[in-house]
Amino acid sequence: MGEMFLESAGSASSSEAIAPDRRTRGRERRRNQVYEAAVALIIDKGFDNTTMDDIAERADVARGTVFNHFARKAAFLDEWGARRRRRALDTIYSEHLEDHSLREVLERYMIELAEISTRTRTETVALMGASVHAINVLENPPLAAELGSILARARKDGRLAPGVDPRLGGLLLASGYFATLTAWIVEEPAPFALRSQLVSMVNIVLDGILLPDRSGDAAGG
């Protein structure tokens, strides 16, 4: 669902049709090696106490190699979020949900993010905690853009209420996600079931908070 779905599907088809060459595969392996070293260090030492030199040593690569793949330390946090969003989107494809209802797509997207975070709670606490303090997760968040694309397609298909701005809707959903995830990581053990809270958040945004105003109906009757 969404223009984003169509673009991603096209990209996937191209990558399947043209296998990456050895040089590309080698570069991707090194990038993953550097990324995994950074994540492990952030979990062990914290974001502030992890240096690019530490990452190079853990990954067993030159310092310049780290900067070739990640120009700044905060880029590891960006990559961490991007990989999770990609996995959530891949789930929509693998389960062939592209043309299902907006509610079903959004719920499944959030469920996958919740399941990833629950399976990797230690990592999520470390990386999300770092993201909250090191970068402004609500300043043009890619998650909001991705969710906004899903809403934009729903509007194109006539399934979005008139006057609803998909970009604002995407930001509301992303803000709800970040607020819920932040509340989930601040206590041990986890203070609530992340999956059910995220699904509830989606439905609150989709359904609204207030009951319909029936005062006009009563007056007319």
User: pLDDT tens digit string along 35-54?
Assistant: 999 999 999 999 999 999 99
| Contacts with 4 (C-beta within 8 Å, 6 or more apart), sequence order | 89, 146, 149, 150, 153
Report the predicted TM-score, pTM, of the whole model to 2 decimal places. Answer: 0.86
* Consecutive H or E run containing 186: none
Task: Give yes or no for residue 19 having a pLDDT over 70.
Answer: no
Mean pLDDT confidence for 118-145: 92
The alpha carbon of residue 103 and the mean position of all alpha carbons in its chain are separated, in whole angstroms, by 17
User: pLDDT tens digit string along 53-63?
Assistant: 999 999 999 99
Could you tell me the pLDDT band of residue 105, with boundaries at 50, 70 and 90? very high
- Return d(Cα 28, Cα 22) in angstroms, integer: 10
* Consecutive H or E run containing 99: none
Q: What length does the chain have?
A: 221
R_g of the chain, CA atoms, integer Å: 20
Mean pLDDT confidence for 94-103: 93
**Distances from the Cα of 129 to the Cαs of 101, 167, 175, in angstroms?**
33, 26, 15
DSSP 3-state assignment of 149? helix
Task: Give yes or no for residue 219 having a pLDDT over 80.
Answer: no
Mean pLDDT confidence for 5-28: 62
Task: Give yes or no for residue 144 having a pLDDT over 60.
Answer: yes
- Return d(Cα 220, Cα 175) in angstroms, integer: 40
Q: Contact, 74 vs 109, CB < 8 A?
A: no
DSSP 3-state assignment of 10? helix
User: pLDDT tens digit string along 152-211?
Assistant: 999 998 999 999 999 999 999 999 999 999 999 999 999 999 999 999 999 999 999 998
- Return d(Cα 48, Cα 180) in angstroms, integer: 24
- Return d(Cα 5, Cα 182) in angstroms, integer: 28
Could you tell me the pLDDT band of residue 22, with boundaries at 50, 70 and 90? confident
Domains and CATH numbers, the chain: 3-207 (1.10.357.10)
The pLDDT, as a whole number, for residue 212 is 77
The one-letter amino acid code at 26 reads G
